[in-house]
Every structure is written in C-alpha cells, then in structure tokens.
Structure 1
Amino acid sequence: MPFARLASATTPTCHIGLGLAAVGRPGYINLDREEDLGEDRSVDALRTRTHELLDAAYAQGVRYFDVARSYGRSEEFLADWLNARPDVVDVVVGSKWGYTYTAGWTTDAAQHEVKDHSLQTYERQRAETDQLLGDRLDLYQIHSVTPDSPALTDKELHARLAEAAAGGLTIGFSTSGPAQADAIRAALAVTVDDEPLFRTVQSTYNALETSAGPALAEAHDAGLTVIVKEGMANGRLAAEHAPDALRSVAEETSLGADAVALALILREPWAGVVLSGAATVTQLASNLHAAVVDLDEDQLARLATLVEEPAAYWQQRGQLPWH
C-alpha cells in the first residue's frame, strides 16, 4: 500500500495530511471563509493559494494530499503542482469519485454537487481523474458512502474496482452522516473473490463527533489505513468558535484550539492520517503544531464533555451555508 511510505517517515507531521476541499472551489461550508479567502476567488487566485499551501505543507513534512472530483478544480491544482515539482516523488495522492461538482465556480448555486455511486459515474470520473493525475494517483475512494449506498452491493462495480486494485491502485471509501459506523462495517464485509475490496477508510471524527471511533478501530484492526477528515468540524473548533473547554485547554498548552483539536485525534491508535483542511498558510502552520501537543488525563476528560449526539451534529452540519 502507498501508505507504507508514510509509515516509514520520521517527521512529526508524517501523520497529518492536507485536504484541498476548502481551496479547490470558491464556495464551501467551512466557517469564516470570507476572512480566509477574501473577495478574489478566481481560478487563478485559488490555484496560487493551493500551490502555496502545498509548498508549505511539503516543506514541513506533510506527505499525504487529498482531493476529489467534486472539490472544484482541486485535482487540477494538485496536478499542476506535481508537474511543476518533478522532485516530489515521496508523496501519497488520494482522490474520490461519486460526487459531481455542479456549482459552475459560484458560491450561490442552488446545488453545489450531485451524488451518484453508479458504475457509469465511476467510469466517467475515473477517466477524468486519470487525465489529470495519471500515475501519480495512489488512492481512489468512493465519496461519502452511507449504509444505503448502492456502491456496497453493486457486484459489477466491485469487479471494476478490483481490476483497478490489481493494476496497482489502492481502493478505499469515505463516509458521512450519523450512521458512519454502520457504513464502515458494511464496507468491511465487501469482498471480491473472497478478498477484502477496500484498503482505506476516510471518516469524519472530531471532538464533537466521535461515533465512528469503534468502527474505525475495527477497520484498523482489519488492516485498513484510517484517514480522518473534518477534524475541525468545518471550523466549529477553530479559535473564533471553540467551546470553552477546548479554549481553556488550548490556553494551557500555549497553542491554538485547532492544534489541540487535531492532537486529540492523532492520539487515537487507529488514526493513520489526520487531514488539515487549512485555507491559509498560517492556518496550516497552526494545524501542524498538533503533532507536538501532549494532553494529560484531566485535559482529555474536559475535552470529552464536548461530544454531541451524532444526529444533532449532522443536523447542524447540514445547515451550514455554502459561502
């Protein structure tokens, strides 16, 4: 698996990756985007911003980069950066298929992305991803699998994904929603010729939403690499919005609330890679401090009080505006 490259890394930040959801398109649901991105969200402006983030991340030891077909031009921006940096050969590149970006580079579209886990969508988006990333693609994930997703039962799709795996591509899936644990366990049961199909899982897990934890531990024990997304809860755990318990622990560590929030995830033994979704180089630098945060038992107990009921968490997430 390509993640063996990360397992052998020795930098403190080797278990932190950079996701480009927030900078690959002008509109997203993260809080405070007005301050982070400003008014200029042209293709060129976001391309430049993405390249600055990639440069900074790579220089500080980050080696996993995460994009998706639905993240606007994130694959294109990453491909441009890789093509301009032929010396960068030690990174792991992951993308996702299953959502189509439909916002037309606007922030006020009626619908920003359309979900479809059919074989036809896989074939179309796989060709689109290959055109941009080619053999630099290491990991291809089904985007946001839920327990009722046809991707869990479509045998023809499974066969095509197994063909891709036989060709050297790692196949994974991501999850979203209050039933993430059920989706993870259902995916672990998917096999082709009695062999597990999926080798990675990417799920939402943070100080507010921990319900997928036991299932992620099971996935890890089954040999999957676990990638954690939305560790900052779409900005709800950033300094400007952090709950009092998180804010007080951050003050005690003399680091940012974001670093503490990500450190809380990094300490989980099953967490292979924790994604930063930084939109600025300053945010990224603060996020990367998570690698050196040491939390004591009292601090962990106080942070544990932040956990919300999954249904309430996902309801609030679903109400976040695209802006």
Structure 2
Amino acid sequence: MPFARLASATTPTCHIGLGLAAVGRPGYINLGRDEDLPESRSVDALRARTHELLDAAYFQGVRYFDVARSYGRSEEFLADWLSARPDIDDIVVGSKWGYTYTAGWTTDAEKHEVKDHSLGTYERQRAETAAILGERLDLYQIHSVTPDSPALTDKELHARLAEAAAQGTTIGFSTSGPSQAEAIRAALAVTVDGEPIFRTVQSTYNALETSAAPALAEAHDAGLTVIVKEGMANGRLADPYAPEALKAVAAETSLGCDAVALALILRRPWAGVVLSGAATVTQLASNLHAAVVDLDEDQLNRLAELVEDPQEYWTRRSSLPWH
C-alpha cells in the first residue's frame, strides 16, 4: 500500500495531509473562506495559491495530498505542481470519483456538484483522472458513500475496482452523513472472489462529530488506512467560530483552536492521516502545530463535552453557505 511510505517518515507532520477542496474551486462551504482567498478567484489565482500551499506543506513534512474530480481543478493544479518538481517521489496522491463538478467556476451556482456512483460515472471519471494525474495517482476513492449507495452493491463496479487494484491502484472510499458508521461497516463487507477491495476509508470525524469512531476503529483493525476529513468541521472549530471550551483549551496550550482540534484526532490510535483543509499558508502552519500539542485528561474531558447529535451536526453542515 502507498501509505506504507509514511511509516518510515521521520517528521511529526507526516500523518497530516493536505486536502485541496477549499482551493481547487472558487466556491466552498468553509466558514471564513470569503476572507481567506484573494478577491480574484480566477483559475490562475487559485492555481498559484494551491502551489504555494503545496510547497509549504511539502517543505514542512506533509506527504499525503488529497483531491477529487468534484474539487474544481484540484487534480490539474496538483498535476502541474508535480510536473514542475519531478524530483518529488516520496508523496502519496489520492483522488476521488462519484461527484461531478457543475458550478462552472462560479460561487453562486444552483448546484456545485452532482453525485452519481454508477459504473458509467466511474469509468468516465477514472479516465479523466488518469489523463491528468497518470501514474502519480496512488489512491482512488469512491466519494461520499452512504448506506444506500449503489456502489456498495454493484458487482460489476466491484469487479472493475478489483481490476484497478490488480494494476496497482489502491482502492478506497469516503463517507459523509449521519450514518457513516453503517456505511463503513457495509463497505468492509464488500469483496471480490472472497477478497476485500477497499484498503482505505476517509471519514468525517472531529470534536463535534464522533459517531464514526467505533466503525473507524474496526476498519483500522481490519487493515485499512483511516484518513480523517473535516477535522475542523468546515471552520466551526477555528477562530473566531470555535466553541468557548475549545478556545479555553487552546489558550492553555498557547496554540490555535485549529491545532488543538486536529491534535484531538491525531490522538486516536486508528487515525492514519488527518487532513488539513487550509486555504492559506498561515492556516497551514497553524494546523501543523497539531503534531506537537499535548492535551491532559482534564482538557480532553472538557473537549468531549462538545460532541453534538449526528443528525443535528449534519443538518447544520448542509445549511452552510457556499462562499
């Protein structure tokens, strides 16, 4: 598996990855993003911002980079960066299929992405990703699997995914919604010729939404690499939006709310990679401090009180505006 490369990494930030959802397209749902990005969100402006972030992340020890077909031009921006730095050969690149970007490089589209987990969409998007990332793609994930996703029952799709795995591409899936645990357990049961096809799972887990934890522990025990997304709850755990309890603990550590929020996830024994979704180099640097945050039992107990009901959490997330 490509994530075995991280096992020999010596930097404390090697288990923090960089996701490009917030900078691969002009619109996204992170709080504060309207101030984080330049007024001009042209393709060239966001390409430059992405390359700046990738340079800073790599220099500071980050070795996993996460994109998706629906993240605007994220695959293209990452491929451009890699082409300009052919000596970089120690990173892991993951992308996702299952959503099609439909916003046309605007921030006020009626729909920014359309979900479809059919075999036809896989074949189309796999070809698109291959044309952009080529052999640099290590991991290809189904984007946002839910318990009712046809990707969990489509035997022909499973056979195609197994073919891709046999050719050297690691196959994974991501989850979203209040039933993440159910989706994870259903995906763990998917096999081809008696062999599991999924080797990674990427799920939302943070100080507010912890419901997937038991299933993620089961996935880890089954040998999957666990990637945690939305550790900042789309900005709700960053200054100035963070809950007062988180702000208090952050003040005690002399670090940012974001570093504490991500450190809480890094403590989980099943967490293989925790994604930063930084939109600025300053945010990224602050996020990376998570690797050195030390939380005591009292602080952990206070942060545990922040957990929300999953249905309420996901209802609020779905109401966040696109910036």
Same fold, judged at TM 0.5 (above) = yes
Q: Which residue of 2 aligns with 1:76?
A: 76
Corresponding position: 1:94 with 2:77 = no
SS in 2 for 1:203: strand
- Distance in 1, matches of 2:216 and 2:230, equals 15
Structure-2 separation of matches of 1:8 and 1:79: 25
1:261-318 Cα offsets, whole Å, 9 max, x none, are: 0000000000000000000000000000000000000000000000000000000000
Structure 1 runs not aligned, ≥5 long: none
| 1:272 counterpart residue number | 272
In structure 2, runs of 5+ residues without a counterpart are none
**What is the match of residue 126 of structure 1?**
126
Deviations 1:220-279, CA, capped at 9 Å, x for gaps? 000000000000000000011010110000000000000000000000000000000000
Query: Once superposed, which parts of structure 1, at least 4 consecutive aligned residues long, lie more than 2 Å away?
Result: none
Q: What RMSD over aligned residues (CA atoms) do the two structures have, in Å?
A: 0.4
Alignment of 1:143-162 (within 5 A): 143-162=143-162
Deviations, residues 119-138 of structure 1 (Å, cap 9, x unaligned)? 00000000000000000000
What is the CA-CA distance between 1:38 and the residue it aligns to? 3.0
1:13 corresponds in structure 2 to: 13
Which residue pairs with 2:200 in the alignment? 200
One-letter amino acid of the counterpart of residue 94, structure 1? G
For 1:189, the equivalent position in structure 2 comes to: 189
Please give the secondary structure, in 2, of the residue aligned with 1:144.
strand
* Cα distance in 2, alignment partners of residues 111 and 226 from structure 1: 29
Aligned partner of 1:259 in structure 2 is: 259
Structure 1 segment 220-299 matched on structure 2, within 5 A? 220-299=220-299
Number of residue pairs matched?
Answer: 323
SS at match of 2:14: coil
Letter in 1 for 2:46: L
Aligned equivalents of 1:115, 1:34: Cα separation in 2: 25
Give SS of 1:13's match.
helix
Relative to the length of structure 1, the TM-score reads 1.00
TM-score normalized with structure 2 length = 1.00
Cα distance in 2 for residues equivalent to 1:32 and 1:254: 22
Aligned-pair identity (%): 87
- Distance in 1 (CA, whole Å) between partners of 2:151 and 2:34 is 36
